[in-house]
Structure 1
Amino acid sequence: MASPALPGREPGAGPRVEDLVQEVKRLRAEVEQLRVESAQLQRAVASHAVVDQAIGVLVMTAKINPEDGFMVLREISQHTNTKLSLIAEQIIKHAQDAALPETILAELHAALARRR
């Protein structure tokens, strides 16, 4: 026996329920992916701002140009195997009178010496 037609539709016309369910699942997955990408983008923007602030600290305190400031941060990051954003955070805190870990302080001095 054929299923009754929806009001205003011919029997067999329009999308099947299974197709609609699959489309809803696909759209939910797409929305979740967009949420993940949005969160990643927000973290990247925040990280970039911290790095920019740390470059500003180095420009002012070490009297170097911004390009060298970034290079100093990058070198410290690479030589200590620490994320660039974490180095930047520590440089900012150091400018606010927090102590730097000895390894980072040594790398900071070495990187600045290479710039002079």
Structure 2
Amino acid sequence: MASSAFSGREPGVGPRVHGLVQQVEQLRAENEQLQRAVASHAVVDQAIGVLVMMAGISPEDGFTVLREVSQHTNTKLSSIAEQIIKYAQCASLPETVLSQLHAALTRRT
């Protein structure tokens, strides 16, 4: 029978290592999620800036407009924000997004 000192393992190391591996995997997943959230937040902030400049509304109203368009078109907020940024660069908007954008802006002005 080999002793634990001879095998190079301490009793209970396996479960501890397994727990650490799980913790590292969880932290990696959280890190990736936070990185996506930061990137998404930056896009939303840029779109708010576009609405502030183009429509002459406050940043708070800009966020409200984005949120309303997102809700009324059943589209992720970050996707609407990306579309608004592209619209400011002379891209077209889908008709449903455009009509909801006009409606939301009308409620704010």
The TM-score normalised by the length of structure 1 is 0.87
The code of the aligned residue for 1:29 comes to Q
For structure 2, the 5+ residue unaligned runs are none
Larger Rg: 1
Match of 1:108 in 2: 101
| CA–CA distance in structure 2, aligned partners of residues 4 and 71 of structure 1 | 67
Q: Are 2:38 and 1:39 aligned?
A: no
Structure with more relative contact order (C-alpha pairs < 8 Å, separation 6 or more): 2
The code of the aligned residue for 2:30 comes to E
The code of the aligned residue for 1:112 comes to L
Match of 2:75 in 1: 82
Question: Relative to 1, partners in 2 of residues 1:4 and 1:52: Cα closer, same or farther, differing over 3 Å?
Answer: closer
Question: Relative to 1, partners in 2 of residues 1:95 and 1:5: Cα closer, same or farther, differing over 3 Å?
Answer: closer
Q: Higher helix proportion, which one?
A: 2
| CA–CA distance in structure 1, aligned partners of residues 4 and 65 of structure 2 | 71
Question: Relative to 1, partners in 2 of residues 1:68 and 1:5: Cα closer, same or farther, differing over 3 Å?
Answer: closer
Deviations 1:16-50 (A, max 9, x none): 1xx10111111001000000000000000000000
Question: Relative to 1, partners in 2 of residues 1:5 and 1:107: Cα closer, same or farther, differing over 3 Å?
Answer: closer
- Cα offset, 1:6, TM superposition: 2.9
- Cα offset, 1:3, TM superposition: 4.0
- Cα offset, 1:5, TM superposition: 6.5
For structure 1, the 5+ residue unaligned runs are 8-13
- Cα offset, 1:98, TM superposition: 0.5
The TM-score normalised by the length of structure 2 is 0.93
* Percent identity of paired positions between Structure 1 and Structure 2: 66
Q: How does 1:1-116 map to 2 (within 5 A)?
A: 3-4=2-3, 6=5, 15-16=10-11, 19-116=12-109
